[in-house]
Every structure is written in C-alpha cells, then in structure tokens.
Structure 1
Amino acid sequence: MGFFPRTGSTAASAPRAATQSAGGGTLIVSPEQLEEALRSGNISAAGEAVTPERALRVAAVYGCVRLRCTGPATLPLDIKRRVDERTRADASDHFAYRLFRRRPNQWQKPHQFKRMMQAHVLLRGNAYALKVPGVRGTQALIPLHPGRVQTKQLDDLSIVHDWTRKDGKKIRLRQEEVFHLFGLTLDGITGVTPITYARETIGTSLAMGQYAGKVLGRGARVSGSLQTDNQLSETAYDRLKESTEEFRAGGDREGDFMILEEGLKYERISLSLADLEWIDAQKLSWAEIAMFYGVPPHMLGMTEKSTSWGTGIEEQRQGFLDFTAEDDFTMWEEGINADLIAEPDVYARFNRRAFVRGNIKARWAAYVNALQWGVYSPNKVLELEDENPREGGDIFYPPPNTAGDASAQSKDDDDEDDAAANRQR
C-alpha cells in the first residue's frame, strides 16, 4: 500500500482508491481513503467499522463508559503519608497532591483529566500521560493519545513507549517517563478494551440503529400502495404526490382520509407491530454490552427483566461498586503509587466514603454508629462534613459494651452477691 499526495487537478476532487497494476495492493490518494484503509481491520460481520468514536454512538456503550468514568473522576483522590504504624496524615505538600487535587497540567482540571484517562482505558485499553519533570518531582502530566503510542518490551525486559507526534516524528519514551494506566491485559504490558471483543455486538447494534432510522425515516406508519389499471394524467399525478407528502408529514392531517381519483385503489402493506418487534432485539445487544463493561443493566435503564424496587436495586448497585468500580480505583491507586510516587511512606487512595455524599440519611447513620462506638470524635465528624471544630469536641464516647470496664464488672459482681443472699433468706 503506497501513500501518494494529490497534485494538479486531482486536488479538486476525491478520487476513488485504485488498485495497482503491478505488485497489487491499494493506492491511497486521499485522506478519506487512508482513514478507511486504517479502519478496515475493525469491520464487524454486520459491515460496520467499530472504532472507539463510532462505538460511542451506541447508547449502551456511551452509558457504560460514562458510568465507569464517574467514580474515578468525582471521588476525592487523597495523597496520604504514614507517620507511624497507626497514624496517617494528608501529604498536602507532595507534588502528587497538587497534580490530582489542583491541576494536572496547564489546561485541564483534575476531574477532566481523570475522566479522560479513564475513558481512554475503557475505549482503547490504555491511557498514557507524559511526566514533565520538575525540581520537586513531576510538575505536570501531559496526556498522550493512545492511538499514537506503541508500547514494547525489549530483549532486556525493559518497557519503552514509542510516541508519534502530530508532525509524524517518533519519540521513544522510557517507562519512567510515562504515567501508564491499563486494566485487563493478556501480555502484561498493554491493556485490552471491551470494544476489541465486543466488536460484533457493537457492530450489530450500529447496523440495527441505522436500519431502524432508515425505516422510520421513510415513514413506516404510512406504508401502503396505490394501484390502478389506468394511466394517471400529469395533473392527477401532481395532485396525488402533493397530498401524499402532506399525509407523510403528519400534523393536523394525521388520521384523516385521502381522496383517490382516476380509479386508484389503496392497499395497506404497512409494517405490523410484529414486524417491528425486531427493534426489541437491540435491547439484547445492549445487555451484552453492559455485560462486557461490568455495568448492571438497570443502570442503563433496562429494568424489564430485573426488579426496580427496594433491596434488589441496592444489591445490584453494591455489586457494581464492589466488582467494577473497585477494580477501577485499584488500577488508579497502584498506577499512581508505581509510576509517580517514589517515597515508600506516601501513597494514593480514593476516599470511598464520598459515595454516600448525596445520601444524607446513610451518611449520618454511619456517623452516629462511629460516635456511639468511639471510632470518631464529634470534631472528626465536623471535619468530614467540612465544618469548623467545636470546643470540647475531641472526646471519644465509650462504647455501649462495657464488659471490659473494671468498675462495671465489680458492680455486676456485687449485684450477683446480693441476689444470692436474698435467695438464702
């Protein structure tokens, strides 16, 4: 396959790809043909090119990616320091704290950066960011498009990333120069994306969506034929065409009668509801896509075959947090600890308590239990609620179980002795 620029008169139009007479292959003569050739390996059996951008046109794919990106993007990412075996403190002076709580680079906010990197993992299998060195550590993370990065493992087992710039120049980056995130992997150095293995399902959904649009766009509810043994005059034909178009447009004429002339007979051939039930098959492909991404179908609005009440939904939500969101959090935490933080006593951790920020009842029920059992002090609760401490609020209430209290145990023994004396009398 050769790449030739268009010159002369060919620049005014987009010629079609031509087959070479010698040597075979395809001659690429336009950017559109180059894009088509590069995407040809992603063609599904349904005839649809399934790329990350086109896959997002499927509502189920977009919904799954959006939901999977929400957790890492919205939960606070804390940078902690181990003071001793039992004490932890916020490492707000660490450069990683500034990157993930203030600004990862000059043009992105932490929420935008984390959401974009997570989307790259879900749609392309890998997410890359160039680490810009500074005096006190990495001073910025510059995102690299995964389609322009090729990860390799050399003979000495070291990892390198070959990055192709927009001008076509290739730059080799060492492993320590890149912040690399990936989830499921088959070779240990790069990740795979659900789109790779869900290509047929996504391609089928794309094809069904296009076909449904064409059917409905052509007026599936009009659907009839006009027959006559006579030849229509030009005037009658024009009138018939005009009235037919009015009926196809709907509006006030919807459900009205059509006046036929010149012996025309109407024969209904519209699609029945049974004929249109094939559209429901698209829900099956959506359920399969949800399975690929580990998202409960009810979170995509598919509640026909599952309960939408009470503990059923709550259990499914908890399953999503335990088996899907937790996997994403672990990927981020281990990636930051391995690629960005060199100090052994500093680590990154998502604040999972933030999941109940919007549920004030659940949040305060947890606080009450923590206060009752002496886990939190009142000032600790105020701190978690971003409120100022109060005087005398650093006390810890004793738990209701006082079995280990010596004075309480002595009182219990005295009560037993008094009871025994009364029985002897």
Structure 2
Amino acid sequence: MSIWSKWFGGREAKPAASNSGYQPAGGGTVIVTSDQLEEALRNGNVSASGATVNSETAMRSAAVYACVRLIAGAVATLPLDVKRRTNARTREDASDTPLWRLLRRKPNRWQTPSQFRRMMQAHLLLRGNAYGLIVRSVNRSRDVKEIIPIHPDRVRCKQNDDLSLTYTYTTLAGRQVTLVQSEVFHLVGLTFDGVHGVSVLTYAREAIGEALVMTEHGATMFRNGARVSGVLTHPGKLGDKEFENLKASLDEFRASGERDGKAMILEEGMKFERVAMTSADAQWIESRKFTRAEIAMFFGVPPTMIGDNTGSDSNWGTGLEQKSNGFVAYTLEDHLTTWEETIFRDLIADETSDLYARFNRAALVRGDIKTRWDAYMKGRQMKVLSANDVRELEDMNPVDGGDVYENPLINVDTKTTEEEPANEPPNAA
C-alpha cells in the first residue's frame, strides 16, 4: 500500500475507549462522557489559578512567546550543513546529495527551510514532540523527497513488543493512518521513557497559568479603573444633581486616552489629592516579575534575553556576552544536537553512511563583527584557517594563493644575504 493510499484510504476515526476523549479535526480533545469531564477537570489543562494552559493559551503569555520565539528562531536561522567524511580527518560539503537540497533548499512543497525548522522546534518546545511524514522516492535509492510536518496533537506513538515504534495519525477528515518508524521524522525533547517527549507546559502549567491570570487581572483593572489614582474633597456637601454632574464629568474625562495627562478643572473649592501606589499593587508587579523569570527558567533562557532586566547578575555571568554564551552552551546546544542526531537516524538511516548533518555554530556570532574577525585572525595565526576559508565563511569568492595555511603576521625571509662591511672612517693623519 502506498503512502498516499494510507493517507486517504484509512479507516474512520472513532472515540477512544479510554477516559481521555479523542482528538477532533482541529486538534485538542473532545469530552463526551461525564468520566472524561471529571478527568479533564482533575488532570487536564486547568491550572490551580483557574486559567486553562495549553499550547495555544500559553503563547498569550509574553514570557512563553519570547522563549519559544528565541529558541525556535535560533534553530531556524543557523546554517545547517550536510557533510561527508572522506577519511578519518577530512570532511567535505555534500551539496551534491538530495539530503542537502532537502535541508537547505526545499523541505516540502510550500515551506522554506527556516519555516519548517521554526515550526518543528515550536512543536518540540510546547509539546515535547515534533513529527514529520517522510516521503521517499520510488526508485532504488529511496531518497527523501519531502518532510511533511504533522501536528503533534494528532499523533499517537506506541512502542511495540519488538521495541519498534508505530505512529497513528488522525487526518483532518477524521481518518486514522498507521505509519511505521521509517516513515516518520520524530524529534523528541526531554523524555522519561525514551519514546515520548515531555512538554514544558506539563510542569510549568502553574507558573504560566499564574502569568495569564495576572495579565487578565491587570487588563480588567485598568479597563474598569479599579485602582484609585486620587480622591476629590469638597468643603461642603454635594446634592444629588451636583453629584451626578461631577460623576458624568469624570467619566467623560477618563473615557478617552487622548486626555491622559491633561489638567482637570475643579469647581466649588474642590481639591484633588493623589493616592500613592498601594502595597498590593507593588506586590502584584513584583509577582509578575517573578513569574516571568520562573517561566524563563523552565525554557532555559536568561531572563535578560526576553526583556527582563530587573536583575543584573545570574549564574551564567553578569555581562550580556556571558549570558549569551551560557544560553548557547546549556540551552541551544541541546536542541541543535537533537536535530543533528535525529536527521542521521531518520533521514540517513544507514550506519555505514559517510554523511552527517551539522549546524554551523560559528554563525551565532554573525552580528558581532569584532568577535567574528578576532576569531578568524586567531584561526589564521594557529594555521587552522586559510584566507580562502575565511572568505568562504563570509560568502566571498576565493583568491589565488589563498589556500596556504600560514600565520600572516610572520614574514620570514628564507634567503640568506651577506652583510656588507660597515664603512670605517679614514685614519687620522
């Protein structure tokens, strides 16, 4: 049976027998029975703060969105090279392979490589798993032609008795398709069983729910004007008509943002006294800062990289450069390695192959021209890089004589010359 007949000729999806409901065409879970409702309320996506936390609502939190955007963007924009080992010490670009064209030019018919990687990495961060259908050519080589991303909410992965994996995918039409392990590109995050990745939302649900509730509370407070900015005092007593006129004037004054900061005219000897921020307001602001830093901790992102500059020190150092290096070493490296190893396992799938995929980590300092060129100079001095190697990294054409590995700061003249005798002054008479 071809892969396309599997897609469109499968059996109709039926509600699962378990109490967890089943997945509809748009993703998520449909609750049918009272037992499913009870389980959803007890163990579902509702946090203790009352906010529903799932992959969509979590992205409404500024901290979650910033963390996902930062990590997914780095994975999407780093150059992904396909290399070939020619011997134990020599590597060369494998730009003549279908895998290079797949990863560097066209992963499928509608996505660019950066779009594909950004989407898959976002799935990995929010759900712990990312899936893609592998479409291979029908010839003997069985080269990978496309990788079609599959929504993780529609995939169920099961490990068989022989330790192989089977994937069941529910299409938009509600049909179930069974896929074998060789047909699925499967990125796995932090895992406890080696098969299913753990979603960050599972363990950060309370922190994210608290952030969502505080954001909603702040929006409601400012919309309704619940926080009193000041009080009006009158030397006498206002009648009903005067009170209604004053109330209407105040409502009209604060109804438009264009009047914010302008002066208000008071009559009959009234005075305005400003009310300072209460301790509850100050504590609410501090709680928001703490929640933002806690969410960043779950994703392994320094708070300063998502706009939280409340603290100048961290375990990764005090300077921006040290924090960026810590983010690359302890967070981003984990995701890059996951991609590299998964590409070899699922797309190359030949342990004897000389091909491998590797992200160019040097591109992380692309925006820092001083650091980049200092690194090039050190590479030239150590005879690790040639002039043409540097020009290739900078997307420049090679030059004649640029393949020599030598220290450009040392100019040794190997020719031996005889020193001419110094002119002696004539003897005095």
Q: TM-score scaled by structure 2?
A: 0.78
Q: 2:133 pairs with 127, 130, 133, which one?
A: 130
How many residue pairs end up in the alignment?
374
- Could you say what secondary structure the match of 2:343 adopts? helix
1:274: which partner in 2? 279
Deviations 1:376-395 (A, max 9, x none): 22122222211111122222
Task: Map 1:356-367; keep pairs closer than 5 Å.
Answer: 356-367=365-376
Establish whether residue 109 from structure 1 lines up as the match of residue 120 from structure 2.
no
Letter of the 2:327 counterpart: F
Unmatched segments (≥5 aa) in structure 1:
4-18, 29-36, 402-406, 412-425
Corresponding residue SS for 1:60: helix
Alpha carbons 1:247, 1:254 under 8 Å: kept: no
Matches within 5 A, 1:48-87: 48-87=51-90
Aligned mates of 1:101, 1:82 — CA distance in 2: 19
Question: After the TM superposition, which of the residue ranges 242-251 and 208-217 deviates more from structure 2?
Answer: 242-251
Alignment of 1:93 with 2:124, yes or no, is no
CA contact (8 A) 1:39 1:51 kept: no
Residue 240 (structure 2) pairs with residue 232 (structure 1) = yes
Deviations 1:95-126 (A, max 9, x none): 22111100111110000000000000001110
Cα deviation per residue 1:398-417 (whole Å; 9 max; x = unaligned)? 6999xxxxx9xxx9xxxxxx
Consecutive aligned runs of 4 or more in structure 1 exceeding 6 Å deviation: 37-40, 225-231, 265-269
Per-residue deviation, 1:155? 2.3
Q: Structure 2 CA distance, aligned partners of 1:353 and 1:212?
A: 43
Describe the shift of the 1:268–1:148 C-alpha distance in structure 2 as closer, same or farther (beyond 3 A): farther
CA distance in 1, matches of 2:400, 2:222: 69
| Closer, same or farther: CA 203–266 of 1 in aligned 2, 3 Å | farther
Of the three residues 230, 238, 249, the one matched with 1:243 is 249
Task: Indicate the larger mover: 368-377 or 60-69.
Answer: 368-377
2:195 is the alignment partner of 1:189: yes
Which letter does structure 2 place at the counterpart of 1:322? A
CA distance in 2, matches of 1:42, 1:191: 17
CA change 1:156–1:260 in 2 (3 A) is: farther
Distance in structure 2 (CA, Å) of the matches to 1:393 and 1:349: 25
Secondary structure at 1:52 match in 2: coil
Amino acid at match of 1:393: G
Corresponding residue for residue 335 of structure 1: 342
Deviations 1:32-87 (A, max 9, x none): xxxxx799810000000001111111111111111111221011100011111111
Pick which of 109-118 and 310-319 moved more: 310-319
* CA distance 1:27–1:397, shift in 2 (3 Å): closer
> Which residue of 2 is the match for residue 256 of structure 1?
264
Q: Percent identity?
A: 48
3-state secondary structure, aligned to 1:56 = helix
Superposition deviation, residue 375 in structure 1? 1.5
CA distance in 1, matches of 2:228, 2:221: 10
Aligned to 2:8: none
Find the counterpart in structure 2 of residue 33 from structure 1: none
Instruction: Give 1:26 deviation, angstroms.
Output: 8.2
AA aligned opposite 1:397: E
Structure 2 CA distance for aligned equivalents of residues 173 and 225 of structure 1: 71
Q: Which amino acid aligns with 1:176?
A: S
Could you give the per-residue CA deviations for residues 165-198 of structure 1, whole angstroms, max 9, x where no partner exists? 1111111111110000011001110101211100
* Distance 1:253-1:383 versus aligned 2 partners, 3 A rule: closer
Aligned residue in 2 for 1:14:
none
Residue 10 of structure 2 corresponds to none
1:304 deviates by 2.1
In structure 2, distance between residues paired with 1:295 and 1:369: 30
Equivalent in the alignment of 2:360: 351
Q: 1:167 to 1:348 in 2, by over 3 A?
A: same
Is the alpha carbon distance of 1:285 and 1:398 closer, same or farther for their aligned partners in structure 2, counting shifts above 3 Å?
Answer: closer
1:323 equivalent among 316, 330, 342: 330
Distance in 2 between residues matched to 1:94 and 1:332, nearest whole Å: 19
Shift of 1:247: 2.6
Residue 274 of structure 1 deviates from its aligned partner by 2.5
Distance 2:199 2:238 in 1: 62
Contact kept, 8 Å, 1:224 with 1:268, in 2: the verdict is yes
- In 1: Cα distance, 2:183 partner to 2:245 partner: 73
1:373-392 → structure 2 map (5 Å cutoff): 373-392=382-401
Equivalents in 1 of 2:224, 2:266: separation in Å? Answer: 19
Q: Which amino acid aligns with 2:329?
A: D
Report if the CA contact (8 A) 1:182-1:331 is conserved. Answer: yes
SS in 1 for 2:198: coil
Query: How far, CA to CA, are the matches of 2:278 and 2:299 in structure 1?
Result: 32
Query: Hey, what's the Cα distance between the residues in 2 that align with 1:106 and 1:238?
Result: 66
Once the 2 structures are TM-superposed, how far is the Cα of residue 241 of structure 1 from its aligned partner?
A: 3.8
> Hey, what's the Cα distance between the residues in 1 that align with 2:103 and 2:339?
11
What is the deviation of 1:237?
Answer: 6.0
Q: C-alpha separation between the residues in 2 aligned to 1:93 and 1:39?
A: 54
Secondary structure class of the residue paired with 1:202: helix
Q: Which moved more, 1:324-333 or 1:357-366?
A: 357-366
Indicate the RMSD between aligned Cα atoms, in angstroms: 3.5
The one-letter code matched in structure 1 to 2:178 is R
